[in-house]
Amino acid sequence: MLLCIDCGNTNTVFSVWDGSQFLCTLRTSTEHQRTADQYYVWYSTLIAHHKIDAMITDVIISSTVPRVVFNLRVFADRYFNTRPLVVGRPDCLLPVPPRVDQGTSVGPDRLVNTAGAYDRHGGDLIVVDFGTATTFDVVAEDGAYVGGVIAPGVNLSLEALHAAAAALPHVDVTKPQAVIGTNTVACMQSGIFWGYIGLVRGITDRIRGEYDRPMQIIGTGGLAPLFATGDVLFDTIEDDLTMHGLTVIHAYNKENGTL
Ligand SMILES: Nc1ncnc2c1ncn2[C@@H]1O[C@H](COP(=O)(O)OP(=O)(O)OP(=O)(O)O)[C@@H](O)[C@H]1O
Ligand SMILES: CC(C)(CO)[C@@H](O)C(=O)NCCC(=O)O
Ligand SMILES: [K+]
């Protein structure tokens, strides 16, 4: 079985893939101090809780935080006796290499989203991922990542408002009743909710204008379903797109790479 690990700047997600389905998905906050042994205590406790017979033989990691990779490698080696595949490292092949400026390194999560979305939908796509950052990945006809957009994440923007303005409280993102807020919290929620609807619509419209073929828009990340209630922004929403992409890249390396 394959253990897929998706480390974002905010959260780290583990998912066990048995070759045809994900048996469970476990989430923890990303902390670079966490050791291999700490990962195992957390992982094995939850696996036991879910009563899953997970015989892990392979591990694949995508990490937007380079310094957590060392301890995850030790974790894979010590507890599963396997050398993990790390997306973005030279020995991890991608089904289609990205076409970007020379010397730039694309976030591994964006490469993984690209591979996952292309596998499910073919090319000419925009993948919108609502994580720590709100990212837009453009996937060409042949499945290559060819660029995109990085905007501040929704929760980051809310935190920034709260941190910078003494009178603005911490609020959660939610769909407000009306656009015109009649109290501070409602005003902030309106700014974030309708602001991000406008951001996503504006950016995807402009990408479509710049790209010379029809494109599908795929939404992913925890907040995609919430924003889809505000406007028709996406052709589909897939909460497991990153995990799916990890299984696609792993399978590709089994067939063509050094695994
Ligand atoms: N209605 C909601 N309000 C606030 N947060 C929500 C809501 N629905 C989902 N979430 C949050 O979305 C997050 C899931 O987002 P996702 O995994 O896509 O990115 P992330 O973990 O925030 O970022 P990264 O992947 O960059 O670490 C979870 O932390 C979850 O609590
Ligand atoms: C943009 C984030 C933070 C989104 O997780 C990540 O993909 C990243 O660190 N990217 C590196 C820069 C780039 O993708 O062009
Ligand atoms: K993510």
d(CA 190, CA 195): 7
CB atoms within 10 A of CB 206: 12
What pLDDT is attached to residue 244?
98
Average pLDDT, the chain: 97
Cα–Cα dist 149/102, whole Å = 17
Question: So what's the pLDDT on residue 100?
Answer: 98
The size of the chain, in residues, is: 259
- What confidence score (pLDDT) does residue 210 get? 98
Tell how far CA 204 is from the center of its chain: 18
Listing DSSP states for 135-184 in one string gives EEEEE-TTS-EEEEEEEE-HHHHHHHHHHH-TTPPP------S-SS-SSH
Catalytic residue among 53, 77, 91, 109: 109
Outline where the chain has alpha helix (H): 36-49, 69-80, 108-121, 154-164, 184-210, 224-228, 241-256
Residue 173 Cβ inside 6 Å of ligand 1? The answer reads yes
Residue located nearest, by CA, to atom 14 of ligand 1 = 222
* Rounded Cα distance, 110 and 116, in Å: 10
Locate the ligand 1 atom nearest the alpha carbon of residue 109 and give its number.
25
pTM of the model: 0.97
Q: By CB neighbour count within 10 A (0-12 exposed, 13-18 middle, 19+ buried), where does 76 fall? A: buried
Rounded to the nearest angstrom, the distance between the alpha carbon of 223 and the centre of ligand 3 is 10
Residue 12 DSSP symbol: E
Residue 167, class by beta-carbon neighbours within 10 Å (0-12 exposed, 13-18 middle, 19+ buried)?
exposed
Give the tens place of pLDDT for each residue, 147-157: 999 999 999 99
- Bridge partner list, 49: none
**Cβ 132 under 6 angstroms from ligand 2:** yes
Binding residues for ATP: 6-13, 132
**CB contact at 8 A, 109 and 129:** yes
Q: What is the pLDDT of residue 35?
A: 98
Is the confidence metric ipTM above 0.90 for this complex?
yes
Please tell me the predicted confidence (pLDDT) of residue 256.
96
Report d(CA 185, CA 173) in Å as an integer: 10
Number of the ligand 2 atom closest to the C-alpha atom of 109: 7
Which residues fall inside 5 Å of ion ligand 3, going by CB?
8, 131
Separation of alpha carbons 143 and 255, rounded Å: 18
Q: Is the CB of 110 under 6 A from ligand 2?
A: yes
Which one of the ligands is nearest to 239 CA?
A: 1
Q: CA-based Rg of the chain, rounded to a whole angstrom?
A: 19
Task: Let me know if 53 is a catalytic residue.
Answer: no
pLDDT tens digits, the chain, 259 residues: what are they?
999 999 999 999 999 999 999 999 999 999 999 999 999 999 999 999 999 999 999 999 999 999 999 999 999 999 999 999 999 999 999 999 999 999 999 999 999 999 999 999 999 999 999 999 999 999 999 999 999 999 999 999 999 999 999 999 999 999 998 999 999 999 999 999 999 999 999 999 999 999 989 999 999 999 999 999 999 999 999 999 999 999 999 999 999 987 8
DSSP state of 103: T
Q: Which atom of ligand 2 is nearest to the CA of 110?
A: 7
The pLDDT assigned to 257 comes to: 80
